[in-house]
Chains A and B, each alone.
Chain A
């Protein structure tokens, strides 16, 4: 879905390097999320943000940090990448509104390999 874009789509880096993954959305949603996907484990939440001034840790935030530069932009950083951070990373957005059933809309993913 072109409404949520992620850059880069693929990245290979070395242990110890700093990496930033970027997410942009044109849906006008306040809520944004970062997940990582590992084979056989589904998606796990890293960080989430309900607005520009609100950042919250998810279930696996260690080794990661985020920045919400604007309503439309949410970046994920790996300060010092390690091999077990090799995974597929997804950004997602949602609009809570008054509908508690609103789904999340996902970007195409960034495949990160740490050597």
Chain B
């Protein structure tokens, strides 16, 4: 079975400080992992995805995530927050052993960036 736990429903940071959004997953098989971002009144945009080629994945807008199998984690980080990063972020797992292609979403983390 697959599931995703986003450990914080809300995260607040000051502009210019680091961002850490935490995600733990469970998967019966080798997982595909994704982070999506949703800005207000917008659809979901892919930030980055884990492809097993490298455990440290770089995405758009300076975000990156590290896959840690031993900890079943895929935390999202950014060295310096920008006001435009304020949005909701979703950690997503897909079971690569399944042909169904279903995605399992975490409940989301709302990121607030203070000036």
A positions within 8 Å CB-CB of B:
1, 4, 31, 40-45, 48, 56, 58, 90, 94, 96, 100-104, 106-109
Contact = CB atoms under 8 A, between A and B. Distances in A.
B96 A100 contact: yes
B115 interface: no
Contact of B108 (A40, A103, A109): A40
A94 B51 CA distance: 16
B44 A106 contact: yes
Nearest to B91: A42
B44 A101 contact: no
Interface in B33-71: 34, 36, 42-46, 49-51
A106 B43 contact: yes
Contacts, number: 53
Interface of B: 4, 9, 32, 34, 36, 42-46, 49-51, 90, 94, 96, 99-103, 105-108
Given A42-B90, A42-B107, A31 B101 contact: yes
Contacts of A90: 43-44
B43 A103 contact: no
A103 B102 contact: no
B32 A101 contact: yes
Question: Which of A43, A56, A58 counts the most B-chain CB atoms under 10 A from its CB?
Answer: A43
A40 B107 contact: yes
Given A48-B102, A106-B43, A109-B43, A43 B90 contact: yes
Nearest to A4: B43
Given A103-B49, A107-B43, A94 B101 contact: yes
